[in-house]
Structure 1
């Protein structure tokens, strides 16, 4: 819940910074507040930068005052939507079942669903990390999901906005587990689904994170509010494609 019309300058600066040759090798996405969604898509019409939304309702339409459907996002030319973010799960008590329904609604509207999973500090400290990831993977991803429609984002809740980043070993263990679970359930599609890491990502640590096996990209939080910070993370991908 950050950003007003004054933020459009930052969005435009990000759009201008996402350019060839790197933009031809990676996908770059910004998910502004819903109030800026339509204007942002128009602003980025000539840029490789994709625009998505931060959440959607599971129904196509109806008496759901204040909610936004996946169809509305698509109607604003959005291409992606984040579902199951830890803040939605925590602050709005969203269950795996609800997250799955939202992801299915995204698929039905032709959007790519970015499905977030991750453990809390208590769950990690009590040795439940992999059990939590397995439960949320099973419960949150719709049957029939594919690499073209679905991205999984691992965001350890205890690392979000805290400046604390898991060790590379922690990230590698989680991402390898997620990959194995996706392959077991979806076969070749699971092998090709992108798995993002999210949690205090910055220009300073992005390159190291991207070197971890099965980390196919990053889900950026606070560092997406300013173009300079976001583009520093974007530039971290250059090493992979040098």
Structure 2
């Protein structure tokens, strides 16, 4: 019974949100109402909703269905059922096995990749604004050899940047990424003259992406200044690296 109830609620929740029966024009401004009510019990809230919400917490587009709030909620329930029994059922019955296979491939392969690329691109743009320099995509061989996604050329040297999208559940383990990449990043420093910095990005509520380890911006800026100083003072412009220039 519990599983059946959970399955029903899953369908009801999808339909309730999809057809926006949770919007203020149907159920009133719930968050505003319950804060003003400050109920001590479920009964307090139910009474306030029935008696006060229609007068105090509804938008201009509000329309009462029936003579009171009980009848109003019953009518919303009937409309929800109509959407599920007619429109949603027809849509479910129209889904084929091929549709399901194509959807799984789309989500697992294409959308996962596009989300990953979008997150890296967003953080890349944030870094450019914060540092005031252009980041360049790393050559393919650098990606394999050094584990870097982007680089900042400084004279004939370079700073490496690796952007690693992670979830909040992974944040306690960011030090492990540094250990795993240490060898390839040390190779980059020996051969290209600059350090590699791992930039961890996380997605906030609402899909906003940001740099998790924000202190890395200051560290990159210091390395930029160090390399600029080295290049300015190197006799004849000689130094390590592969002749990368701005």
TM range, smaller chain: under 0.3
Larger fraction in helix = 2
| TM-score, with structure 1 as normaliser | 0.26
TM-score where L is the length of structure 2: 0.26
